[in-house]
């Protein structure tokens, strides 16, 4: 559907950028902070080291000043659980003080914080005690952490996200500590999905009691699935991917219902994943104010016969096209590449129109306001002659923002946009080889160097987009809308 009239972005649109604590703060054991599951992965690959990262913990005032210069009206960050509760149980006042100072600095520059309560980094002590999100106790421990955040930071924060990408952490277990020995992967997946849904509901109810005027919602990662061909078997495979990967967990969190196809699929294989009536009722009473979703790429799904050997997805670690391992889930779907789209060096398909499709599907299904809380291009950036020319990132973001504006013109209620990331940070699977930021951080995976900050070309471009509330994109010399 083409539009003769493109609607402007709302006047109160949240133009932001995003980071996560373990990827940007560093200071991983300073001022009383405890060990998180991410800290425990230090040096598990040559990329993963949380000890310093971008040193935001010591340089946050400098970084917030850059956010102000960029023109951000909002900043999405996560609170490190182990700064607040180092062992998951005992409060650390120094952690409270750090975030108070950070929030006060943001508000002084008229930047609204959007706070992610959980971004893959729960206390290692809770992982050791009961396998983290696999254990029922996680519901109460996470609620205790969230309640403290609401009480301590409620004067500063208007928007909260509960759990980042609850659907993707079950697809990629190693993101949050892995599957414990002796537990079957699918058993782990649905127990974690259940525990996260119940914890999400408890935290939303807690927020309503303590901060009735705050806005809170879940966050998912959404890679919309296309059928590999118009063969009905491939179309069914794409529907399976959408329903199993995205809509099952989101239906549970937002609607308090379990997708019957998913329930029946596992029942036929001897696994009962049904929640009790009481659990579903609890979830229904904790309706979110919005849905946040992270969008980088789309997927392709093809028919996957029952006798296929199961293959779990694996990230491309080398940044050379062809290194990604596509999943094969017998009887459901198999992943494949898209011949109509360009790919990044890490095999992520670049699909701006897919963002508009995601908006339309999510808004029609849930009728809740939406915000994009991650969207960006990971790439090799080069610091040459005092400049970082990242026109490829500008092109990526420009096309996606244009599709977001078309979604608004379609009638979708969009609250805000938070590209990943404000500054270069430790990519979970690729370290500092894979950069996303508007701000270049002078370091690499082998050398901390100066850690100085430098503005990329994309910084100045996004500055114009934000200042004009998106109108800069509509100048005559800008790329035509798709």
CB atoms within 10 A of CB 321: 13
Q: Choosing from 152, 165, 243, 349, which is the catalytic residue?
A: 165
- C-alpha to C-alpha distance for 327 and 72, rounded to whole angstroms: 38
Residues with Cβ within 8 Å of residue 341, at least 6 apart in sequence: 298, 349, 350, 351
Q: Is 165 a catalytic residue?
A: yes
Structure token pair of residue 133: 């999100």
8 A C-beta contact, residue 251 and residue 257? yes
Nearest to 252 by CA among 178, 329, 167: 167
**CA angle centred on 268, ends 263 and 274, rounded to 5°:** 30
Give 134's DSSP letter: G
At 441, which helix (H) or strand (E)?
strand 439-441
- C-alpha to C-alpha distance for 316 and 323, rounded to whole angstroms: 5
Burial of 209 (0-12, 13-18, 19+ CB in 10 A): exposed
- C-alpha to C-alpha distance for 407 and 373, rounded to whole angstroms: 16
- C-alpha to C-alpha distance for 428 and 416, rounded to whole angstroms: 24
Q: Choosing from 25, 152, 349, 374, which is the catalytic residue?
A: 374
8 A C-beta contact, residue 126 and residue 138? yes
Nearest to 114 by CA among 206, 203, 214, 11: 214
Q: Is 318 a catalytic residue?
A: no
Active site residues: 165, 374
């Amino acid at each position: 559907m083409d539009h003769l009239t493109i609607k402007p972005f709302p006047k109160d649109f949240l133009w932001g950028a995003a980071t996560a604590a373990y990827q940007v703060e560093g200071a991983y054991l300073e001022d009383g902070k405890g060990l998180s599951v991410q800290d425990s992965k230090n040096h598990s690959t040559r990329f993963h080291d949380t000890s310093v990262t971008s040193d935001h913990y010591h340089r946050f005032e400098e970084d917030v000043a850059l956010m102000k210069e960029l023109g951000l009206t909002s900043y999405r960050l996560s609170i490190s659980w182990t700064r607040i509760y180092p062992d998951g149980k005992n409060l650390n006042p120094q952690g409270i003080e750090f975030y108070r100072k950070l929030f006060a600095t943001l508000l002084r520059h008229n930047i609204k914080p959007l706070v992610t309560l959980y971004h893959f980094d729960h206390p290692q002590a809770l992982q050791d005690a009961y396998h983290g999100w696999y254990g029922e106790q996680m519901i109460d421990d996470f609620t205790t952490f969230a309640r403290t955040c609401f009480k301590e930071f409620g004067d500063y924060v208007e928007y909260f996200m509960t759990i980042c990408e609850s659907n993707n952490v079950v697809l990629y277990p190693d993101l949050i500590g892995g599957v414990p020995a002796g537990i079957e992967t699918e058993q782990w997946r649905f127990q974690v999905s259940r525990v996260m849904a119940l914890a999400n509901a408890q935290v939303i109810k807690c927020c309503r009691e303590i901060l009735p005027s705050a806005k809170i919602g879940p966050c998912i990662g959404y890679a919309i699935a296309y059928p590999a061909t118009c063969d009905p078997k491939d179309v069914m495979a794409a529907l399976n991917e959408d329903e199993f990967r995205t809509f099952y967990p989101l239906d549970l969190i937002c609607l308090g219902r379990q997708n019957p196809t998913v329930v029946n699929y596992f029942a036929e294989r001897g696994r009962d994943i049904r929640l009790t009536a009481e659990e579903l009722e609890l979830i229904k009473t904790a309706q979110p104010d919005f849905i946040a979703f992270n969008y980088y790429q789309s997927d392709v799904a093809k028919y996957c016969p029952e006798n296929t050997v199961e293959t779990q997805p694996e990230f491309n670690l080398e940044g050379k096209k062809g290194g990604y391992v596509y999943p094969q889930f017998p009887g459901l779907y198999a992943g494949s590449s898209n011949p109509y789209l360009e790919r990044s060096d890490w095999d992520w398909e670049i699909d701006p129109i897919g963002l508009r499709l995601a908006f339309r599907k999510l808004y029609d299904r849930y009728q809740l306001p939406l915000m994009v809380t991650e969207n960006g291009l990971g790439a090799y950036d080069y610091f040459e002659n005092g400049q970082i020319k990242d026109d490829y990132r500008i092109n990526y973001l420009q096309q996606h923002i244009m599709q977001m504006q078309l979604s608004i013109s379609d009638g979708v209620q969009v609250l805000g946009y938070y590209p990943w990331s404000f500054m270069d940070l430790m990519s979970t699977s690729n370290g500092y080889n894979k950069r996303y930021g508007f701000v270049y951080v002078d370091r690499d995976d082998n050398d901390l160097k100066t850690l100085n900050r430098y503005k990329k070309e994309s910084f100045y471009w996004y500055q114009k987009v934000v200042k004009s509330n998106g109108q800069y994109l509509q100048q005559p010399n800008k790329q035509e809308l798709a």
